[in-house]
Structure 1
Amino acid sequence: MNLINRSCPRFIAVSLRNTIQIEPKMRTDLQASKVEAEARFRVIATAYETLKDDQTRSDYDYYLDHPEERFYNYYQYYRRRVVPKVDVRLVILGTIMSISLFQYYSAKQKYSEAIAYAMTVGKFRNMAINTGVERGVLEIDNKGKLKKVKGKNNEEIIRSIIEENMDVRGGYKKESIYDTLMWHCIILPYTIFNYLRWYVQWVFKYWIKREEYDDIAKLYLIRKHLGLNENQFNCMSDDEHDDMLARELWIDENFKRWKAEKDAEEQEKLVQSGRSAALSLV
């Protein structure tokens, strides 16, 4: 390409356009020799496509300055040619949507597994059967077994009753779009606003005014001491929460003492388990 290296791209574009439009000899050649004209046109078109874009022109300048780096120059060329130019925003949006769909259907599968397991547990199954009989949607025969009634699926009825009465939390709770990445991205500004408002209220109420912690604040501090997120902490029973409040575990010293006791208990259980295993082998 008989062009000055690092010339102004606009100047190059104008020069190429003028060359195609006004050069009489090129017009004559195009009419006289179709093959030669096509070849020259391809050269000019390639030069224009290469030099009109700042990125490809930068690669071309690098190629002129470093012709010995053949493999790198080939890589840059094919990377520009093969890799499509995609809007980064579309890529990010597609990634978020894919992750959200995976989260939703994964949660749905886990919830189904939890309910299916509960249906095999006698306690929950019997509770559901008794509830179904009281409602009149299930019937028991003289032998105490479920009657098969035409048009009714006993297992589906039992499943629906268990779903109504079970409070599945944590990683096996019922699927919801409100637990997906997409939803969290949508409400991110609102989430940030709420956090800042909560933080200001916390500082003003407990740091500046020195008010006593209420139960919600105490449970929050206990959760932070335990290193649990909100869902994990909510999976604990109300009795466990009450016990922690009674022990005043929001206070650092009390929590450290309680944690040491728990660790000692766990260590003792491991020792006892090891002794039992050793005795069973004797």
Structure 2
Amino acid sequence: MNSALSLPFLVICLVLVQQCDSVGFAPELYCGLENCYDVLEINREEFDKQKLSKAYRALARKHHPDRVKNKEEKILAEERFRVIATAYETLKDEEAKTTYDYYLDHPDQRFYNYYQYYRLRVAPKVDVRLVIVGTILVISLFQYLSAKHKFSEAIEYATGVGKFRNMAIKDGVDRGLLEMDRNGKLKKNKGDNDAIIKQIITENLDVTGGYKKESVYDTLAWHTIIFPLTIFRYIKWTVLWYWRFAIKKEELDDEAKMYLIRKYLGVSQSEFDQRFGTDIDDLFEHECWIKDNCEKWKAEKDAAEQEKMAQSGRYKRYKRYMKNAGTISFVDEE
């Protein structure tokens, strides 16, 4: 019942407000019934921001409440000092000054002026540049810690794989970090054998793809810093490519052929190394730098892989891992 009555009441209030004389200063906005320029004794047409502070300091000293001892006069001085401070805060801020000038020039737009006034007072003043920098740093930190966690998972996995563990033990024995007894078992020493093996695996393990070792150079912050250089290199590379192969009609070299192959396969350099690194000779043999040849080769390879996936669930898991995680191997592993 109350909600039913409140809506008509609100409409009536709005109509009455619209019918009121809205031209002039609003007591609760800015400097009240005074012009902020007049409060600071500044001519609006000759406004100089450098002189604004000087005018404010002079008036602030003159009307400072501490200069008045009488209680009643002190109250008036405090009110005057507040108006002076409000005028200064309004005119020193570029956005607030623009809004106030609009308020002076369009006093009839009462609702819009109220909105602009309270928007500036309520909305937090945050430098957009700081927000952007902070966002980039947070994302970069998340990327770095996530990569660190994934690399740790790869190390834990490799430590439990017999091939990598045996290679680490052999390397540890050769370096004198581990000792074997007559039965071919590790001797207990002052250090932790498992920790030594894990450290050797960490030093020698070559992990690519999504589980590679964390690096600052893989974060958004670093890529943002070098973005101008990246753009410059891209433009330079594009111009050279057009000059060599479009204007001078040079024959494609192996590097150019590899670029076209990656382009037609739709993969980046790192993804190409993971998925097609062993197929380079086959790609060149089929002249896959030609788009039609590359599409035909890829269709045949995808068909062969789908057939293998259908026959082996293990092979399917392996291909999924290769696509997402990359490869894990010892640096000296042949």
TM class by shorter chain equals 0.7 to 0.9
Q: Tell me how far apart the structure 2 counterparts of residues 129 and 237 of structure 1 sit (CA, whole Å).
A: 32
Greater RCO, 1 or 2 (C-alpha within 8 Å, sep 6+):
2
Which of 92, 115, 118 is the aligned partner of 1:72? 115
Look up the match of 2:44: 8
| Structure 1 residues 161-220: Cα deviation after superposition (integer angstroms, max 9, x where no partner) | 323433211222222222233333333343333333322332232223333322222221
Counterpart AA for 1:112: S
CA contact 1:104–1:180 (8 Å) conserved in 2: yes
Counterpart AA for 2:171: T
1:215 and 2:258 equivalent? no
1:172 and 2:211 equivalent? yes
CA contact 2:265–2:295 (8 Å) conserved in 1: no
Look up the match of 1:139: 179
Deviates more, 1:204-213 or 1:2-11: 2-11
* Compared CA separation, residues 210 and 58, structure 1 to 2 (3 A): closer
Q: What percent of counterpart residues are identical?
A: 52
Q: Tell me how far apart the structure 2 counterparts of residues 213 and 3 of structure 1 sit (CA, whole Å).
A: 77
* Compared CA separation, residues 190 and 94, structure 1 to 2 (3 A): same
Look up the match of 1:190: 229
Aligned residues between the structures: 267
Counterpart AA for 2:271: Q
Q: Tell me how far apart the structure 1 counterparts of residues 69 and 77 of structure 2 sit (CA, whole Å).
A: 4
Counterpart AA for 1:78: R
Q: Tell me how far apart the structure 1 counterparts of residues 303 and 276 of structure 2 sit (CA, whole Å).
A: 23
Which of 125, 128, 148 is the aligned partner of 1:84? 125
Counterpart AA for 1:208: I
SS in 2 for 1:39: helix
| Equivalent residues in 2 for 1:50-65, closer than 5 Å | 50-60=90-100, 61-62=102-103, 64-65=107-108
How far apart are 1:243 and its partner, in Å?
Answer: 2.5
The alignment's TM-score, normalised by the length of structure 2, stands at: 0.65
Which of 130, 133, 137 is the aligned partner of 1:97? 137
CA contact 2:158–2:165 (8 Å) conserved in 1: yes
* Compared CA separation, residues 267 and 56, structure 1 to 2 (3 A): same
* Compared CA separation, residues 265 and 177, structure 1 to 2 (3 A): same
CA contact 1:114–1:172 (8 Å) conserved in 2: yes
1:36 and 2:79 equivalent? no
SS in 2 for 1:167: strand
The alignment's TM-score, normalised by the length of structure 1, stands at: 0.75
1:229 and 2:229 equivalent? no
Aligned-residue Cα RMSD (Å) equals: 3.9
Q: Tell me how far apart the structure 2 counterparts of residues 164 and 186 of structure 1 sit (CA, whole Å).
A: 29
SS in 2 for 1:84: coil
CA contact 2:151–2:212 (8 Å) conserved in 1: yes
Look up the match of 2:297: 258
* Compared CA separation, residues 5 and 137, structure 1 to 2 (3 A): closer
Q: Tell me how far apart the structure 2 counterparts of residues 272 and 210 of structure 1 sit (CA, whole Å).
A: 47
Q: Tell me how far apart the structure 2 counterparts of residues 109 and 167 of structure 1 sit (CA, whole Å).
A: 16
CA contact 1:104–1:177 (8 Å) conserved in 2: yes
CA contact 1:10–1:52 (8 Å) conserved in 2: no
Deviates more, 1:34-43 or 1:263-272: 263-272
1:153 and 2:192 equivalent? yes
How far apart are 1:252 and its partner, in Å?
Answer: 1.0
CA contact 2:286–2:293 (8 Å) conserved in 1: yes
How far apart are 1:142 and its partner, in Å?
Answer: 4.0
Counterpart AA for 1:228: V
Q: Which runs of 5+ in 2 are unaligned?
A: 1-31, 38-42, 314-334
CA contact 2:150–2:211 (8 Å) conserved in 1: yes
* Compared CA separation, residues 227 and 65, structure 1 to 2 (3 A): farther
Counterpart AA for 1:173: K
Q: Tell me how far apart the structure 1 counterparts of residues 167 and 92 of structure 2 sit (CA, whole Å).
A: 75
| Structure 1 residues 60-89: Cα deviation after superposition (integer angstroms, max 9, x where no partner) | 445944334698356414335xx1353x44
Q: Tell me how far apart the structure 2 counterparts of residues 75 and 168 of structure 1 sit (CA, whole Å).
A: 56
Q: Which runs of 5+ in 1 are unaligned?
A: 275-282
